[in-house]
Structure 1
């Protein structure tokens, strides 16, 4: 995870057919707050944990959100652009071209061991295009393999090598059942993501195993052609090799398991807003292993 888990937000990333961009939050990479090495007027006490790396890759999987940890505040805002192609593949299959644009905003405010204040601000801008293929299996399950690759640039205070490659790949699957007007969904996924500084420098990668469920039901009224509905969901994330978030003057925080609870609102009947078909939007919170993340979602993230 390249510099500060920038933004935790892929991850759960995802949502309406046109807004769906699994790695939407594609992120930046090898920018790091190495300036923490020595902004003090007098020599700080020796400590092996003096560099704070931004985990942009985590943000890429998360999508749209943020967190605060040990003096670092990381927020990522993603515009999950995509375009769906129909009619060129077998019946029922859909090829979705992804082109998420991500802005990251990071600030680090700390006090060194000698009392000196450290304040650093950076931003990142990235584009990580890719493709997702929706493959129906039976009448209620869709499998969605995907791959993305792009680049992110960073700018602001103390940026060393400002460019990094970002990549994501894996597969998601979602199954749906209808009980009256209620829709029950079960999702699962495996995601491999990583980043690497252009040239030489910091790099990282991780595997995420995900499982979630959602219940969606109409709210019982309509506004014109819109029939609002409400969906609530819970997701579980497991990292076979723990995610690591660096902390100034402290050992890295290792994250092995996280849980997300959230909701989304949309329309129970087909609805189009501008160029978006059946758009949804909601919010959730991801927590566990000492890290809490706020997350804006565009529907059930599978």
Structure 2
């Protein structure tokens, strides 16, 4: 039961999907939409993201980071298999989306961020390949509210893919706004050598084009906006390995237009 509970929290219960002969979206956009269970060509696919990053340059006001997240997908994997320890035996899809992220602090309480990604995705089952691209800009403003250190975040971003055979392509873009608030409760996690603070957040998402949301448990729906709320543990420095970039660990729920999604968080949540 412990193993089953752990792996269930490692996935969402849905994701955006394009209505087509083959659904590329479940893995082409995995790095931007999050880990999850996706429906594609009559199969269920479980996708897990591995965040990887390397700092190239940093000073008191600026930083440049190379991000190389990897997403792995497993076909026809059911949670009912877990009590018998039938874990996924092969990888069905893989994407890698390397990109550069630039951050600059424009004032004592404001930071501007921008990124550009260009990546590749492969479906080992069908033998198809896609080129993936994404870009975005963000504004992070530190607010003052007692000892809670709120951060107000606004982001504008888009992502797209194109199959190598030229038959399919898709893009999506969104405006995101949210706030992350601390609890001013701190403790030391000696095992990992970090200080920990629980934080809560809420964020809204507005999609410029309605997107088809496919779940393996019901009818597809079109989503134009969603609201997400959740809680995380914020670490004073990345845990495990610096290149993994895991500085948060938490859980959230996102709802909108009749869809409910659970998400496990490994980084700043909004």
RMSD (CA atoms): 3.5
SS in 2 for 1:61: helix
- Assess if the C-alpha contact under 8 Å between 2:230 and 2:253 holds in 1: yes
* Matched pairs, number: 241
Indicate whether 1:82 and 2:53 are aligned. yes
Take 2:147 and 2:20, find their aligned partners in 1: how far apart are those partners? Answer: 55
TM-score, structure 2 normalization: 0.76
* Residues 182/68 of structure 1: CA separation in 2 closer, same or farther (3 Å cut): farther
Take 2:214 and 2:35, find their aligned partners in 1: how far apart are those partners? Answer: 21
Decide which structure has the larger Cα Rg and report it: 1
- Counterpart of 2:163 (choices 197, 203, 216) is 197
- Assess if the C-alpha contact under 8 Å between 1:141 and 1:175 holds in 2: yes
The structure richer in helix per residue is 2
* Residues 192/221 of structure 1: CA separation in 2 closer, same or farther (3 Å cut): closer
| 1:217, distance to aligned residue in structure 2 (A) | 2.2
Per the alignment, residue 115 of structure 1 pairs with none
SS in 2 for 1:301: coil
TM-score, structure 1 normalization: 0.68
Gaps of at least 5 residues in structure 1 are 1-6, 12-28, 33-48, 110-120
- Assess if the C-alpha contact under 8 Å between 1:257 and 1:289 holds in 2: yes
SS in 1 for 2:247: coil
- Assess if the C-alpha contact under 8 Å between 2:121 and 2:132 holds in 1: yes
Per the alignment, residue 279 of structure 1 pairs with 247
More displaced stretch, 191-200 vs 291-300: 291-300
Indicate whether 1:253 and 2:221 are aligned. yes
* Residues 96/292 of structure 1: CA separation in 2 closer, same or farther (3 Å cut): same
| 1:218, distance to aligned residue in structure 2 (A) | 3.5
- Counterpart of 1:62 (choices 19, 33, 40) is 33
| 1:288, distance to aligned residue in structure 2 (A) | 1.3
Indicate whether 1:53 and 2:27 are aligned. no
- Assess if the C-alpha contact under 8 Å between 2:141 and 2:153 holds in 1: yes
- Assess if the C-alpha contact under 8 Å between 2:246 and 2:267 holds in 1: no
Structure 1 residues 140-159: aligned runs within 5 Å: 140-156=109-125, 159=126
* Relative contact order, higher structure (CA 8 A, sep 6+): 1
* Residues 50/140 of structure 1: CA separation in 2 closer, same or farther (3 Å cut): closer
* Residues 263/70 of structure 1: CA separation in 2 closer, same or farther (3 Å cut): farther
Gaps of at least 5 residues in structure 2 are 1-10, 79-89
- Assess if the C-alpha contact under 8 Å between 2:147 and 2:184 holds in 1: yes
Per the alignment, residue 131 of structure 2 pairs with 165
Per the alignment, residue 229 of structure 1 pairs with 197
Indicate whether 1:262 and 2:230 are aligned. yes
| 1:76, distance to aligned residue in structure 2 (A) | 1.8
